[in-house]
């Protein structure tokens, strides 16, 4: 074969080899081995067993990905159901696929249900997460339907059961609510440390916990510089700032340099709602 002919045919041969390898990996993805590999990759990332049932479809364009209609996450110790999803969709990195390895770049889940320790649950119509890895910030976005949209970054530190969160909550016709801090997750309890909450242009700092056993109870010890309570309470989506309308029992102690409400100004004062906050 002449050099000229070899130069002409080489790109065609390489393209044919690439196409053959590409369709071979697609065939592998569609097989039981591909489904099991995706289950294992997801499980390794979140530290819990993952099962993918129902439909299992391959997407080639605009990027390689997999979608399905049934996702189940289980407790690694008890085997009990922790979360379920009605639909999932993943974007996969192409290069690792040629080694029959999976690298997830993005995951979208619709109809996500999280089971809480008290038997109740949380429902998210739509949630998307970027390339996730332990101890590393990951982009996320949550569509909470009428409750608005939550997005930002989180980092999960499994050795401490600690979630670092930097998030922005947007609800129509209300000021944006930003949160930044650490959340330690324990059985029946979520603790908030070194946290900052910003509602519009007002900021509070402090700590607290959410107790889940025996009914949800939110306990907060907070401090602030200057607060306008009328403006602050109007931005609580649960019911115009009425503590009785909240879906949890609220126990709050807030120390502030200045608090304003209804034309009244109180300085160096303490606001208390409910009982004495306690993270027992």
What are 176-186's pLDDT values in tens digits? 889 999 988 88
Which one has a higher pLDDT value, 70 or 234? 70
Alpha-carbon dihedral of residues 131, 132, 138, 140, nearest 10 degrees?
80
Please report the pLDDT score of residue 26 as a whole number: 61
pLDDT, tens digit (0-9, with 9 covering 90-100), for 62-93: 777 888 899 999 888 888 888 899 999 988 88
> What is the C-alpha to C-alpha distance for residues 180 and 178, in angstroms, rounded to an integer?
7
pLDDT at residue 66 in the model: 85
The predicted-structure confidence for 100-112, as pLDDT tens digits, reads as follows 677 888 899 999 8
- 111 burial class (0-12, 13-18, 19+ CB within 10 angstroms)? middle
**Cα angle: 43, vertex 104, 113; to 5 degrees:** 55
| Phi, psi at 232, each rounded to 5° | -70, -50
Q: Quick one: pLDDT at residue 108?
A: 92
CB contact at 8 A, 131 and 140: no
Q: What share of the chain is helix, strand, coil (3-state, %, to 5)?
A: 20, 50, 25
Q: Specify the pairing of strand 189-199 against strand 202-211.
A: antiparallel
């Amino acid at each position: 074969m002449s050099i000229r002919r070899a130069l002409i045919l080489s790109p065609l041969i390489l393209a044919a080899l690439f196409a053959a390898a590409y369709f071979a990996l697609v065939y592998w993805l569609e097989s039981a081995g591909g489904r099991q590999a995706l289950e294992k990759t997801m499980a390794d990332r979140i530290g819990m067993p993952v099962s993918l049932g129902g439909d299992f479809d391959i997407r080639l364009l605009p990027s390689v990905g997999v979608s399905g209609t049934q996702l189940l996450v289980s407790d690694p110790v008890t085997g009990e159901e922790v979360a379920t999803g009605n639909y999932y969709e993943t974007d996969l990195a192409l290069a690792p696929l040629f080694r029959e390895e999976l690298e997830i770049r993005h995951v979208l889940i619709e109809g996500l249900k999280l089971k809480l320790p008290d038997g109740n649950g949380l429902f998210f119509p739509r949630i998307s997460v970027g390339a996730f890895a332990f101890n590393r910030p990951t982009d996320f976005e949550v569509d909470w339907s009428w409750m608005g949209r939550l997005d930002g970054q989180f980092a999960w530190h499994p050795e401490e059961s600690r979630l670092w969160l930097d998030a922005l909550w947007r609800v129509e016709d209300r000021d944006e609510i930003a949160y930044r801090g650490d959340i330690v997750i324990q059985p029946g309890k979520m603790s908030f440390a070194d946290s900052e909450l910003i509602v519009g242009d007002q900021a509070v700092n402090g700590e607290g916990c959410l107790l889940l056993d025996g009914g949800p109870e939110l306990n907060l010890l907070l401090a602030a510089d200057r607060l306008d309570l009328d403006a602050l309470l109007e931005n609580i989506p649960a019911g115009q700032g009425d503590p009785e309308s909240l879906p949890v029992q609220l126990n709050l102690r807030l120390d502030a340099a200045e608090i304003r409400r209804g034309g009244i100004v109180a300085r160096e004062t303490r606001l208390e709602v409910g009982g004495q906050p306690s993270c027992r």
